[in-house]
Amino acid sequence: MGTSVQVSPLCGVYNENPLSYLVSIDGFNFLLDCGWNDLFDPSLLEPLSRVASTIDAVLLSHPDTLHLGALPYAMKQLGLSAPVYATEPVHRLGLLTMYDQYLSRKQVSDFDLFTLDDIDSAFQNVIRLTFSQNYHLSGKGEGIVIAPHVAGHMLGGSIWKITKDGEEVVYAVDYNHRKERHLNGTVLQSFVRPAVLITDAYNALYTNQTQSHHRDTEFLDTISKHLEVGGNVLLPVDTAGRVLELLLILEQHWSQRAFSFPIYFLTYVSSSTIDYVKSFLEWMSDSISKSFETSRDNAFLLRHVTLLINKTDLDNAPPGPKVVLASMASLEAGFARDIFVEWANDPRNLVLFTETGQFGTLARMLQSAPPPKFVKVTMSKRVPLAGEELIAYEEEQNRLKREEALRASLVKEEETKASHGPDENSSEPMVVDTKTTHDVVGSHGPAYKDILIDGFVPPSSSAAPMFPFYDNTADWDEYGEVINPDDYVIKDEDMDRGAMHAGGDVDGRLDEATASLMLDTRPSKVISNELIVTVSCSLVKMDYEGRSDGRSIKSTIAHVSPLKLVLVHATAEATEHLKQHSLNSICPHVYAPKIEETVDVTSDLCAYKVQLSEKLMSNVIFKKLGDSEVAWVDSEVGKTGSEMRCLQPMGSAAAPHKPVLVGDLKMQDFKQFLSSKGVQVEFAGGGALRCGEYVTLRKVGPTGQKGGASGPQQILIEGPLCEDYYKIRDYLYSQFYLL
Amino acid sequence: MASSSASLKRREQPMSREGDQLIVTPLGAGNEVGRSCVYMSFRGKTILFDCGINPAYSGMAALPYFDEIDPSTIDVLLITHFHLDHAASLPYFLEKTTFKGRVFMTHATKAIYKLLLTDYVKVSKVSVEDMLFDEHDINKSMDKIEVIDFHQTVEVNGIKFWCYTAGHVLGAAMFMVDIAGVRILYTGDYSREEDRHLRAAELPQFSPDICIIESTSGVQLHQSRHIREKRFTDVIHSTVAQGGRVLIPAFALGRAQELLLILDEYWANHPDLHNIPIYYASPLAKKCMAVYQTYILSMNDRIRNQFANSNPFVFKHISALNSIDDFRDVGPCVVMASPGGLQSGFSRQLFDIWCSDKRNACIIPGYMVEGTLAKTIINEPKEVTLMNGLTAPLNMQVHYISFSAHADYAQTSTFLKELMPPNIILVHGEANEMMRLKQKLFTEFPDGNTRIMNPKNCESVELYFNSEKMAKTIGRLAEKTPDVGDSVSGILVKKGFTYQIMAPDDLHVFSQLSTATVTQRITIPFSGAFGVITHRLGKIFESVDSSTDEETGLPALKVHERVTVKQESEKHISLQWSSDPISDMVSDSIVALVLNISREVPKIIVEEEVAVKSEEENGKKVEKVIYALLVSLFGDVKLGENGKLVISVDGNVAHLDKETGKVEGEHEGLKERVRVAFHRIQSAVKPIPLSAE
């Protein structure tokens, strides 16, 4: 019987909230994405908190907050402890995104949901896979194979295929079928008839996607128009996702036009982002990897973009028009918010949004039509403590320290009492480092000298303090002093020691400023003030989200034509729209569950395995049809040694079966075929094909979106009794295989 | 699909004479080192592993034996790494032969492949007719090469393959190929030891059925990496401390980068050496540095962690030299130069200058090909011949410290013991070394379940695999699981090597194929009374149902539940049916009948009489035909007792009962064939039953 599959959304259905879904396959619980939004509202994670401890594996699809933002929090606070699977770029860029989020937040609030250490530990155990890598789970998930495939939305972004016993569950959200500068299009279309497809309806109602080169020209024109009149351009971007595409567009345009306006990429982690991205060429589009292979041009060696990691550098930059790409895209925090407030009241400036802001954020507010004239923003800033506050803080700290010390000393006393009367040989509490093994080079003398010169601290626990005394226990035999061969072995670590000190920071390179911010333990506090910002600058929004639009979503789903479809992550209208559309023309089983509603999408497919005997196969003649070969078999079940059923040839003549025509007739192709055979052929009204003078051919009955998906084809051929009729019928038969 | 869970474990010994034949033929690297190229074919799928040249020869002589195979039949060509002996005949093979399959290599391999071969074309001094390919061919080949990432599974024509890290050089891969559930591992050159920048070769998750493994190091054991490195740095340190010069002849790519990492690090830890320059004299290596600086992800964790701070391939103490003209020989220094064999070029020029000074040292860091100067000086001869033909005393110290990243005996045997492949094929090793390795491996696997082979070039290894063909019955057909003796009929769909059986109605659900029904409607001019047709049809066909058309109220007939005959108007009748061979036939006869009615009536009656000839005569005719057909198939067919036919082929006799179709006889094969033949003849000769539902 089929594999049991249950889907229950934890967040992000019937709205644009972050994505997080629980899929359980034969009792093995997958958490698909673990997202949060820029507002970091813990109430969104409530459903997750209820199931976090039962999750067996986490699959991440994209390196942005919406897809993985809650991972550190869930790991630390909600008891999520499952292994996490992601591609290398999703892991690395996701880590940087979280750093950037944390640092931006920390600047403006007393952010305490998670710390940098929590981020590090959450990402430490990510198991990294490559695209199309079939990873066999072990233990509880024995028999399940997971594989990430190209999604095309962000670098490393993946759609996940989970296979068990030949049944496929595909999780595809935020995919993009179009090829972009740095990314290949998704391979979702190559999946055929999976048992379950879980996908988003996010763009189901959005169909207005202009041609990409038109969009690019418009984008660049808008920017240069504002630069030329002396304005500044701000692009609020994400940390390490879609921004890469924008950087490439700008970089390319700048080198073609030889513009001198500076471009700044400002996030807390911008330089490490680009450093890593430079080594991710394998994950990018064919054209980028090709250009590196043939001419060693790394597309992300940015010549026109200056990477900045703090705002002061931007303030110190030479005045004049400039383009700044800064995080966060939502304008809720980060450098983008500060810059927006600074630049908003100059009509020459431009704020160019490249993606729809998250719901309820400043960016979303500004994108509404008509844009607001004024916005009220709360600006917060972290300032070092000074004056009385500092004194108060220090006193508080001192008090805490004293308490700590007091407690420690109490504990120590306890211990001392406990370890009364120590063993003579125990040199444990001794402060001096004494080498008990002989050094190969060092003679006995100096080894002791160290101790004498450095002074002697009597072990506090010893009953009778005395100098440490070592007996020279060198043994002699007839060949001289007995030596221990181990002392002369060259130590393995010798060579590595030099390099290892460099590799200390395992979890990624933090920029210097970031590091200083992290290590900055000066007492500080957050001050906030509300201000009204007059929005006189231009606000423009262009679609660089890199998602398939509604039309392509529909055709992609129709092409994949899953047996069961689960819709998530979209507004209620979009979800409903796609649901109706899919019910009408794709498949009869469409589900759009609500939060914490579990839908059972176990396939009702019956299947059993049989062995095909050599005898049977030698009698089968296959006919080739596209990728596959078909044949009719009549067989009976025979016995084999094992439990497996084996199909043998029929003992007696098989009952004749109803003949089947196999093939997919495309009227357009058939028309060409006929005309190549010298038959006059044209389309008459109503999809009928007129062949020769009298014969007409038409498809009747319900026709699906795509051939094959919705049932057998019905073809009607009619005409008067004549030679042409039989000729055309023969041509028609030649398009099919009769079984 | 069929191979998901059951085949994770090691399969039963698939050795038997029956089953499908798998052929492995080394076209190069069989009992030799160089020009790796191994041909493999199984169940109609053909794969070529590697496509190298023998660097010791030039022109056609350097190629593997491509004329043994038909390049156009090869489906997939897999290149393990960029070394010349594994990749350098690729442009020739792609551009000058009929090969039209697909080529795969890893990203890093592809990037270096181009640089390396372009350099190879430039430096190899051969006449134009000896040139196997030129730069143009290399550039064209770049477009045809596809890239594969480690662990990524690719499927081409039902051949599934993926690759593991091999550890030998940057981008080196071991390929695992899965054809219809039979797995073949081709290691290429591999090393199980992690070094400064490369990961050790991975241990594949699955045990292969065949392991084609390199045997370069034979039964040798390598020194541990740390001792090696210490010897290396000690020799260099003491030589330069005494004012000597150190020459390291090494191939530009691969080991050279490892040595540079060691040197850069050693210099960083020893400030007293900072005034002594280190050069690497290879424009090629300089160009490839960008590749090393980029594909950090293919390297080990150590490098990746260092990368977090600064790129370790941006050297601090090492500088590049373009040619000997840029080199000022003024004092102690360390120079790494190519070629590794000291045949000619920069390394040889320096060797000629430095060889007679006993303060100098030459460190040979890797495998030396027979016949090169590097191999000669290992034995420390008193004199050497310089490039200008003069002889000079060899006073410089010669050290051989092998950094070769080939698995040694210990690694090979543990690797094989972990995998336990039932078949081991040794390639890429000098004949004697290979023989020794084979002997020693025999002692390691004494149970006799493991076959170890070392074919020579063009010598085929033939193995047989009983590949069970498994099918999955799905959909409506599988609603009830059948018991022994039940029949299963349906459409068998084969895609790649997976089989599915399904009901015709389910075809569009489980495959991309679809079924179709063709409805035919023809109109025939007929002006007589419809009743005549009814009458005539009733005489010929067993079942004719008459009714009236609901819309027009005109009479209609349904013949054999298949063909509807309707009166359309005064002048026309129409026939409608859904296509299949029997209905087509029925309709044809109706058409003929209708046409004949309007011509002459009596003829049909005559024919009718003819048709009602005796059953007996018919039966005789049938018997004659059966006999004639059997004779044409089996030759000797006699009529035996009780009406049985006696068929004898090659002394084997079978008795066939014509009535029941039963066959008796000793020989199973003959029995089966006679049975099938008779069954087919019968279904061809006997009339088709009309009730086919």
pLDDT tens by residue, A255-293: 998 888 999 999 999 988 998 999 899 899 999 988 888
Residue type, B142: M
Asked if B525's CB is within 8 angstroms of A498's CB, the reply is no
Give the pairing type, strands B37-42 and B20-28.
antiparallel
Chain-centroid distance of CA B245 in Å reads 49
Q: Nearest Cβ partner of A661 from B516, B661, B683?
A: B516
Residue A615 has pLDDT above 50, yes or no: yes
Average confidence (pLDDT) over A303-321: 89
Asked if B287's CB is within 8 angstroms of A296's CB, the reply is yes
Q: How far is CA A486 from CA A438, A443, A473, A480, A483, in A?
A: 11, 17, 17, 17, 9
With beta carbons under 8 A apart, name residues in chain B contacting A148.
none
Residue B339 has pLDDT above 70, yes or no: yes
pLDDT tens by residue, B590-607: 888 888 876 655 544 444
Which among B5, B152, B310 is the top mutation candidate for probing chain A, defined by the most A β-carbons within 10 Å of its own β-carbon? B152
| Residue A431 binned pLDDT confidence (cut-offs 50, 70, 90) | very low
Residue B468, token pair as written in the block:
């069970």
Residue A463 has pLDDT above 70, yes or no: no
Q: Check residue A519 and give its pLDDT.
A: 54
Average confidence (pLDDT) over A500-521: 48
Q: What is the DSSP letter of A616?
A: H
Q: Is A665 exposed, middle or buried (0-12, 13-18, 19+ CB in 10 A)?
A: buried
Q: Is the distance from CB of B54 to CB of B35 less than 8 angstroms?
A: yes
Q: Is A563 exposed, middle or buried (0-12, 13-18, 19+ CB in 10 A)?
A: buried
Mean pLDDT of chain B: 84
| Residue B410 binned pLDDT confidence (cut-offs 50, 70, 90) | very high
Residue of chain B minimizing CA distance to A724: B522
With beta carbons under 8 A apart, name residues in chain A contacting B568.
none
With beta carbons under 8 A apart, name residues in chain B contacting A617.
469
Q: Check residue B125 and give its pLDDT.
A: 66
Q: Check residue A653 and give its pLDDT.
A: 65
Question: Percentage of residues in chain B with pLDDT exceeding 90?
Answer: 32
Planar angle of CA B179, B183, B184, nearest 5 degrees: 105
Task: Looking at the complex, report in whole angstroms how far the Cα of residue A58 sits from the nearest Cα belonging to chain B.
Answer: 20
Q: Check residue A698 and give its pLDDT.
A: 83
What would the DSSP string read from start to end of A352-380?
Answer: EE-SPPPTTSHHHHHHSSSPPSEEEEEEE
pLDDT tens by residue, B26-74: 999 999 888 999 999 998 899 999 999 987 788 888 899 999 999 999 9
pLDDT tens by residue, B460-499: 999 988 767 788 888 778 777 777 777 888 888 888 778 8
Q: Check residue B485 and give its pLDDT.
A: 76
pLDDT tens by residue, A152-169: 999 999 999 999 887 889
Residue A207 has pLDDT above 80, yes or no: no
| Residue A332 binned pLDDT confidence (cut-offs 50, 70, 90) | confident
Asked if A607's CB is within 8 angstroms of B230's CB, the reply is no
Strands ordered across the beta sheet of B154-156:
B154-156, B159-165, B173-179, B182-186, B210-214, B423-427, B451-453
Residues constituting chain B: 693
Rounded distance between C-alpha atoms, residue B499 and residue B474, angstroms: 11
For residue A572, give the 3-state DSSP assignment.
Answer: helix
Asked if B499's CB is within 8 angstroms of A713's CB, the reply is no
A136 touches chain B (CB under 8 A): yes
Q: Nearest Cβ partner of A610 from B294, B471, B509?
A: B471
Question: Percentage of residues in chain B with pLDDT exceeding 70?
Answer: 93
Q: Is B237 a catalytic residue?
A: no
Residue A706 has pLDDT above 80, yes or no: no
Planar angle of CA B334, B339, B340, nearest 5 degrees: 75
Among residues 62-91 of chain A, which lie with CB inside 8 Å of chain B? 88
For residue B332, give the 3-state DSSP assignment.
Answer: coil
Comparison of pLDDT for A496 and B618, the residue scoring more = B618
Task: Looking at the complex, report in whole angstroms how far the Cα of residue A509 sits from the nearest Cα belonging to chain B.
Answer: 5
Q: How far is CA B139 from CA A290, A291, B142, in A?
A: 12, 12, 5
**What Rg do the C-alpha atoms of chain A give, in angstroms?**
35
| Residue A523 binned pLDDT confidence (cut-offs 50, 70, 90) | confident
Rounded distance between C-alpha atoms, residue A137 and residue A649, angstroms: 39
Q: Check residue A247 and give its pLDDT.
A: 94
Rounded distance between C-alpha atoms, residue B466 and residue B20, angstroms: 6
Q: Check residue A438 and give its pLDDT.
A: 43
Mean pLDDT of chain A: 82
pLDDT tens by residue, B305-321: 888 778 888 888 998 88
Q: Check residue A707 and give its pLDDT.
A: 39
Asked if A136's CB is within 8 angstroms of B151's CB, the reply is no
Asked if A736's CB is within 8 angstroms of B516's CB, the reply is yes
Task: Looking at the complex, report in whole angstroms how far the Cα of residue A42 sits from the nearest Cα belonging to chain B.
Answer: 32
Residue B659, token pair as written in the block:
């009535």
Q: Indicate which residue of B399, B406, B428, B679 is catalytic.
A: B406
Rounded distance between C-alpha atoms, residue A674 and residue A671, angstroms: 5
Comparing B9-13, B184-188, B200-204, B441-445, which segment has the lowest mean pLDDT? B9-13
Task: Looking at the complex, report in whole angstroms how far the Cα of residue B226 sits from the nearest Cα belonging to chain A.
Answer: 6
Q: Is the distance from CB of B124 to CB of B88 less than 8 angstroms?
A: no
Q: Is the distance from CB of B420 to CB of B207 less than 8 angstroms?
A: yes
Q: Nearest Cβ partner of A292 from B111, B485, B495?
A: B111
Comparison of pLDDT for A181 and B515, the residue scoring more = A181
Q: Nearest Cβ partner of B495 from A129, A628, A633?
A: A628
Average confidence (pLDDT) over A537-558: 89
Asked if B508's CB is within 8 angstroms of A714's CB, the reply is no
Average confidence (pLDDT) over B128-151: 88
**Residue A596 main-chain phi, psi, to 5 deg:** 65, 10
| Residue A508 binned pLDDT confidence (cut-offs 50, 70, 90) | very low
Question: Percentage of residues in chain A with pLDDT exceeding 70?
Answer: 83
Of the candidates A1, A63, A99, A11, the one whose C-alpha atom is nearest the C-alpha of residue A507 is A99
With beta carbons under 8 A apart, name residues in chain B contacting A619.
676
Task: Looking at the complex, report in whole angstroms how far the Cα of residue B118 sits from the nearest Cα belonging to chain A.
Answer: 11
Asked if A505's CB is within 8 angstroms of B4's CB, the reply is no
